[in-house]
Chains A and B, each alone.
Chain A
Amino acid sequence: MAKRNASMSVAGLAVPVRIWAQRFAFLALLALAFALMLLSKAETGALQQARVVIVDSVAPVLSVLSRPVEAGQNVSRSVKSFFIVHAENDRLRQENDRLLRWMQTARQLEVENATLRAQLEYVPESAPRAVTARVIADTGGAFYHSLLINAGARHFVQRGQAVVSQAGVVGRVAEVGDRSARVLLLTDLNSRIPAIVESTGDRVIVTGNNTNWPSVTYLASNSPVSVGDRVVTSGHGGVFPPGLPIGMISEASESRIVLQPTVEIARLSEARILDYGVEGILPPPEQVPAVGTTQ
């Protein structure tokens, strides 16, 4: 009888202990999550490294999962082009005529340019190396505007490099793993791209705001910009080369000026990562000449 009572009391104690242990585990995990958030704010190297390793390890899975989406996209494109083939043919013929005229003009300008450069002994800019990569994931959604691509350090992708498509600027490389990289889109809150309004020559900054329409900031108040003006990279800051199209001004009012990017991110299946050999604003410490060693 006494033995039975003892076992009952142990059983009676075990349930509250289990409940308390579960509550403690819940609070401990919440506290851990909060602590990790604070550590992330401090941008510790270990956490960034952990993120890169995790993304790198799932990149092949994402690459495989994105294949059917790409195949579906190709099929729908083929079906669509089948139905509009005649109209498309007419359009392309007209475009071809127009482009042939442009080609004549371009050839004349090329010759003229070469002659003028020879006279000025102009040093030509080196052509960039480029890596083309597939977009394997659209990460972030409403809160972060970024993409994952299937090229990384092993393909010579480096942090800070410009990412472009045929249409124009996509963003810049923000994180690099061995075989994947994260691209911070020009629409993200953290994106700042030095630019020029083509028609007026005004220097501006294209500032991401987590919507699909980035703002144009630091524009002089008396600048005569208008809707439809093209905005291209200025090359200042050493990340983006000059002259890459970013977008067109879609709204210009007293309070704000916004841009419609030339790149349609949703339809972007491949992106080019450009290596201009520029390392950002500051060179690595070992390349900075020591003070006082010059003659």
Chain B
Amino acid sequence: MNQTGFGTIGNIARRVVPGVTILLLVLLVHLHLPLPFYAEVAPALPLMGIYYWAVFRPDLMPRILVFTIGLFQDALIGAPFGLSAMVYLLAHGFVLSQRRFLVGKPFWIFWSGFAIIAPVAGALTWFLTSVFRGALLPSDVVLASVVLTVVAFPAIAWLLLHSQRWLVGAAEPA
């Protein structure tokens, strides 16, 4: 397993790759890009990361990590603490329960699984935020964001696949 020869430090580094990549995705999605409307319809990059790692390396994607990433995102965007954490925990739990239908299947099945989760997560976030803010928030931008999220998924999955190949490796047999 220890092919890269980093030893113990390498092993620890490999274990934190999923968490670090998702934290990076949280930061990247909130960069201020000079594109009109981008901020409103930006794809949910962190959700892609959680889905990817929960399918391919669930051992490196424990619930507490998902919860922490959610709290970090809530702090960054000014959302109530726990909102993203709750959405990510539910998405993560769903992926784990359906993982056997996704592992080892063609890419389009893996993508289709995400195309089911992304709208549900988007709708749940919209609903919880609307309840929390006491107003029905615009839903058209949420829909646009979900479409962009599903469309952009292969690109991010490709990047995560390469980061897994270079830095982490395949899942250890159970």
**A residues at B contact (CB < 8 Å):** 22, 25-26, 29-30, 32-37, 39-41, 47, 50-51, 54-55, 58, 61-62, 65-66, 69, 73, 135-147, 174-175, 182, 189, 210-212, 264-269
A144 nearest CB neighbor, chain B only:
B78
Could you write out 10 A-B pairs with CB less than 8 Å apart? A26-B63, A36-B85, A37-B132, A137-B32, A139-B30, A141-B141, A144-B78, A145-B39, A212-B37, A267-B34
Among B47-55, B69-77, B163-171, the stretch in contact with A? B69-77
A29 cross-chain contacts in B, Cβ below 8 A: 63-64, 67, 85, 89
B82 touches A35 (CB 8 A): yes
B80 touches A37 (CB 8 A): yes
How distant is the Cα of A37 from the Cα of B132 in the complex, in angstroms?
8
Question: Which of these, A33, A54, A55, A143, contacts B125 with CB under 8 Å?
Answer: A143
Whether B109 is near chain A, meaning CB under 8 Å from some CB there, is no
How distant is the Cα of A142 from the Cα of B138 in the complex, in angstroms?
8
B66 nearest CB neighbor, chain A only:
A29
B142 nearest CB neighbor, chain A only:
A142
Q: Mark B118-150, 1 if CB is under 8 A from A, else 0.
A: 000000011011001101011001100100000
B129 nearest CB neighbor, chain A only:
A143
A143 touches B126 (CB 8 A): yes
B89 cross-chain contacts in A, Cβ below 8 A: 26, 29-30, 33
B38 cross-chain contacts in A, Cβ below 8 A: 138, 266
B30 touches A137 (CB 8 A): yes
Question: Which of these, B64, B75, B90, B132, contacts A55 with CB under 8 Å?
Answer: B75
How distant is the Cα of A58 from the Cα of B30 in the complex, in angstroms?
12
B39 nearest CB neighbor, chain A only:
A138
B72 cross-chain contacts in A, Cβ below 8 A: 54
Whether B83 is near chain A, meaning CB under 8 Å from some CB there, is yes
Residue from A135, A139, A142 having most chain B Cβ neighbours under 10 A = A142
Question: Which of these, B27, B125, B128, contacts A61 with CB under 8 Å?
Answer: B27
B81 touches A36 (CB 8 A): yes
A174 cross-chain contacts in B, Cβ below 8 A: 78
B63 cross-chain contacts in A, Cβ below 8 A: 22, 25-26, 29
B75 cross-chain contacts in A, Cβ below 8 A: 50-51, 54-55
Chain A binding surface, main DSSP class: helix
How distant is the Cα of A285 from the Cα of B138 in the complex, in angstroms?
39
A66 cross-chain contacts in B, Cβ below 8 A: 31-32
Question: Which of these, A62, A73, A147, A268, contacts B27 with CB under 8 Å?
Answer: A62
A182 touches B78 (CB 8 A): yes
* A210/B138 contact (C-beta < 8 A), A141-B77, A266-B39, A267-B34 known: yes
A40 touches B86 (CB 8 A): no
Nearest Cβ distance between residue A63 and chain B, in whole angstroms? Answer: 11
A266 touches B141 (CB 8 A): no
- Extra inter-chain contacts (16) besides given A37-B86, A182-B78, A210-B137, CB under 8 Å: A22-B63, A29-B63, A33-B82, A34-B82, A39-B81, A40-B81, A47-B81, A61-B27, A62-B31, A69-B31, A69-B33, A143-B79, A189-B133, A212-B37, A266-B33, A269-B34
Nearest Cβ distance between residue A44 and chain B, in whole angstroms? Answer: 10
B145 touches A142 (CB 8 A): yes
Whether B40 is near chain A, meaning CB under 8 Å from some CB there, is yes
B85 touches A33 (CB 8 A): yes
A54 cross-chain contacts in B, Cβ below 8 A: 72, 75-76
B83 touches A37 (CB 8 A): yes
How distant is the Cα of A40 from the Cα of B129 in the complex, in angstroms?
12
B76 touches A34 (CB 8 A): no
